[in-house]
Structure 1
Amino acid sequence: MPLTKEVVLGKHVWERHSCINCHTLHGEGAYFAPELGNVMTRWGVTDDPEAAYEVLTGWMEAQPSGIEGRRQMPQFNLTPEEIRGLAEFLRWADQTDTQGWPPTNAG
């Protein structure tokens, strides 16, 4: 997958909001929240940019979930452009040759 302007924007969103402080990306980062290096595969949208954007939008809009006893993701109030960029960054990361990492589909 090419390194597009949307992928770069998504990487900037990732960095600006310090996503790595809670999530891992290909094993790098914190283990508070799920691995995101293969999240688009888990969601079944790796090859569908529009579906990736829609699923990520739904997820982001539902945060925090308010489910008692569950770790909560903050509401970042991202713009549609930022969410699309983040979706493209995560699709790009998901298609990186990681030589078998993560070892399970769950991350």
Structure 2
Amino acid sequence: MAERLTKSATRNIFYGGSAFFFVIFVALTIHSHLYMTSTSAPTSAMTDSIVRGKHLWERHSCINCHSLLGEGAYFAPELGNVWRRYGGHEDREGARAAFAAWMASQPSGIPGRRQMPQFNLTEQEINDLADFLEFVSRINTQGWPPNEAG
């Protein structure tokens, strides 16, 4: 047996290793794709009101203060689980009424608290935003946020 690698042995190791790690890469990519499509919220459930709610979220730059599923600013509460906190999974209409009342009461004027601005949203816009937040609450976040308060 030779003490050093020959040119052909080196080439074979390079091509064999490249092929092996390419196969691993493709397998992990397929696994990630299948995992993400099977565990997250189905895109077929997207309605026009959810899309309009997402546009409201973006137009009013809610992400500048709030976080959504861990993304955004941490100045105000996480809103990925706000629908659950309002009890939307048990009482959908009650959660909608509580959410609308919360939006109408802003800014609350409580001294020492950060104040959310009043956006003067219409009833339709509040319903669209509620639909968007309800949709986000159905995404499998694997335990995020770590506490119920957001």
| TM-score, scaled to structure 1 | 0.94
Task: Report what 1:51 is aligned to.
Answer: 94
Q: CA contact under 8 A between 1:10 and 1:89: conserved in structure 2?
A: yes
Q: Which consecutive unaligned segments of at least 5 residues does structure 2 have?
A: 1-40
Aligned to 1:63: 106
Which protein, 1 or 2, shows the higher relative CO under an 8 Å CA cutoff with sep ≥ 6?
1
How many Å apart are 1:49 and its aligned residue?
4.0
Higher-Rg member (1/2):
2
Deviations 1:32-83 (A, max 9, x none): 1000000011111135443332111100100000111100000000011100
Identity of aligned residues (%): 62
Give the Cα separation in 2 of the matches to 1:25 and 1:58: 21
Please state which structure has a larger fraction of its residues in helix.
2
Q: Which residue of 2 aligns with 1:101?
A: 144
Alignment of 1:68-83 (within 5 A): 68-83=111-126
Question: Structure 2-normalised TM-score?
Answer: 0.68
Equivalent pair of 1:49/1:87 in contact (CA under 8 Å): no
- 2:13 alignment counterpart: none
**Partner Cα distance (2:99, 2:85) in 1:** 12
Partner of 1:34: 77
Alignment-derived partner of residue 3 in structure 1: 46
